Amino acid sequence: MTTKGETEAFDYNAPAELFMSKRKGRSRIVYRRFTTAAEAIRFAIEDLPAVHTLGIWMEAGDERFDSDGIQRLYDRGDYPLQRGSSN
């Protein structure tokens, strides 16, 4: 998985895809596409319960981010969307 430093550029406006591994019964992958990476990141952090236990990852362009990487992108100073009250 990609780990980007705070100083590296990331395009929050790029289209992104979220993949979530669900483990009830048989293992299956749930997929959701977003117009922008910023929206995908906000959904993963603010709307999914226990994001770190879901086996979630995001692909934006040629880069792939695990749950820790998604959290780091959300926490960066250049994250373009207003953060919810949950964080």
pTM above 0.85, yes or no: no
pLDDT at residue 3 in the model: 47
pLDDT at residue 27 in the model: 58
Contact 32, 43 (CB under 8 A): yes
10-residue mean pLDDT series, the chain (87 residues) = 60 95 65 96 86 79 93 95 75
Give tens-digit pLDDT for 57-76: 999 999 999 999 999 999 99
pLDDT at residue 22 in the model: 67
Provide the residue ranges of all domains of the chain, joining segments of one domain with +: 16-75
